[in-house]
Structure 1
Amino acid sequence: MLLLGLSGGSDPASDSGRTTLLLVAVGYLVLALPISVVVGLRRQRVTNAWLAAGRQPDRAEAAYALRLPVDTAGVAALTWLVGAVVVTAVGAAVHPDARVGLRTGLVTTLGGVVTAGVTYLLVARVARPVTTRALAAHPPVGSLLLGVRVRLLLTWGLTSGVPLTGLVLMFLDPSIPGGPGETVVVALVAVSLVVGALATLLTARAVGAPLRELRRAVQEIGSGDTSVRVVVDDAGEIGLLQTGVNAMAAGLGERERLRDLFGRHVGTTVAQQALDRGISLGGEERTVAALFVDVSGSTALARRLGPEEMVGLLNRFFEVVVEATSAEGGLVNKFEGDAALCVFGAPTRHDDPAGAALRAARRIRTAVTAAGEVDVGIGVAFGPVVAGQVGAASRLEYTVIGDAVIEAARLTELAKALPGRVVASGAAVQAAADAEQQHWAPGERLVLRGRDVPTSTWVLVGG
Structure 2
Amino acid sequence: MIPASARTAARRADDVLAWAPSGRIAVPLIVALVVVADLVGAGTVTLLLLGVSDGADDAGRGPVLLTALAYLVVALPLATLAGLRRQRATTAWLVAGRDPTPAEAARALRLPVDTALIAAVVWLLGAVLAGAVAAVTFPEPLVGLRVGVAALFGGAVTAGVVYLLVARAARGLTTRALAAHPPAGRLALGVRPRLLLTWGLTSAVPLLGVVLLFVDPSNPGGPGRTAVVFLAVVAVLVGGLATLLTARAVGQPLRDLRQAVQRVGAGDYTAGVTVDDAGEIGLLQEGVNTMAAGLAERERLRDLFGRHVGTTVAARALAEGASLGGEVRPVAALFVDVVGSTSLVRRTGPEAMVGLLNRFFAVVVDAVEAEGGLVDKFEGDAALCVFGAPTAHPDPSGAALRAARRICDDVGRAGEVDVGVGVACGPAWAGQVGTASRLEYTVIGDPVNEAARLTELAKEHPGRAVASEAAVRAAGGGEAANWVPDAEVELRGRGEPTRTYVRA
TM-score (norm 1): 0.98
Q: Which residue of 1 aligns with 2:37?
A: none
Q: Give the 5 Å matches for 1:200-349.
A: 200-349=243-392
Q: Does 1:2 align with 2:32?
A: no
CA drift of 1:244 comes to 0.5
Verify the 8 A CA contact 1:355 1:433 in the aligned structure 2.
yes
CA distance in 2, matches of 1:73, 1:234: 17
What CA deviation, in whole Å up to 9, does each residue of 1:304-335 have, x standing for no partner?
A: 11111111100000000000000000000000
Aligned Cα RMSD in Å? 1.0
Verify the 8 A CA contact 1:361 1:378 in the aligned structure 2.
yes
Please, which moves more after superposition, 316-325 or 24-33? 24-33
What CA deviation, in whole Å up to 9, does each residue of 1:410-458 have, x standing for no partner?
A: 0001110111110000110011126111111111101011220111110
What CA deviation, in whole Å up to 9, does each residue of 1:191-214 have, x standing for no partner?
A: 111111111111111111111111
What CA deviation, in whole Å up to 9, does each residue of 1:187-236 have, x standing for no partner?
A: 11111111111111111111111111111101110100001110000011
Select which of 125, 139, 146 maps to 2:189: 146
SS at match of 2:355: helix
CA drift of 1:7 comes to 4.2
CA drift of 1:169 comes to 1.0
TM-score (norm 2): 0.90
1:450 aligned partner, one-letter code: G
SS at match of 1:341: strand
Select which of 157, 169, 176 maps to 1:114: 157
Count of residues paired in the alignment: 460
SS at match of 1:225: coil
CA distance in 1, matches of 2:279, 2:443: 56
Select which of 38, 50, 57 maps to 2:81: 38
Select which of 165, 170, 192 maps to 1:127: 170
CA drift of 1:160 comes to 1.1
Verify the 8 A CA contact 1:354 1:431 in the aligned structure 2.
yes
| Misfit runs of 4+, over 4 Å | 9-12
CA distance in 2, matches of 1:427, 1:77: 92
CA distance in 2, matches of 1:35, 1:458: 99
CA drift of 1:378 comes to 0.4
CA distance in 2, matches of 1:302, 1:47: 64
Q: Which residue of 1 aligns with 2:431?
A: 388
CA drift of 1:289 comes to 0.4
2:127 aligned partner, one-letter code: A
CA distance in 2, matches of 1:58, 1:145: 20
Q: Does 1:163 align with 2:206?
A: yes
CA distance in 1, matches of 2:483, 2:48: 105
Q: Which residue of 2 aligns with 1:98?
A: 141
Select which of 45, 49, 57 maps to 2:100: 57
Runs of 5+ in structure 2 lacking a partner?
Answer: 1-44
Percentage identity across aligned positions? 69
Verify the 8 A CA contact 1:269 1:348 in the aligned structure 2.
yes
1:313 aligned partner, one-letter code: L
Runs of 5+ in structure 1 lacking a partner?
Answer: none
SS at match of 2:253: helix
1:181 aligned partner, one-letter code: G
CA drift of 1:170 comes to 1.5
CA distance in 2, matches of 1:283, 1:245: 39
Please, which moves more after superposition, 277-286 or 108-117? 277-286
Please, which moves more after superposition, 258-267 or 300-309? 300-309
Verify the 8 A CA contact 2:59 2:138 in the aligned structure 1.
no
2:302 aligned partner, one-letter code: R
SS at match of 2:200: helix
Select which of 391, 397, 401 maps to 1:354: 397
CA drift of 1:51 comes to 0.6
SS at match of 2:330: strand
CA distance in 1, matches of 2:397, 2:462: 22
CA drift of 1:145 comes to 2.9
CA drift of 1:2 comes to 3.5
CA drift of 1:368 comes to 0.3
CA drift of 1:149 comes to 1.0
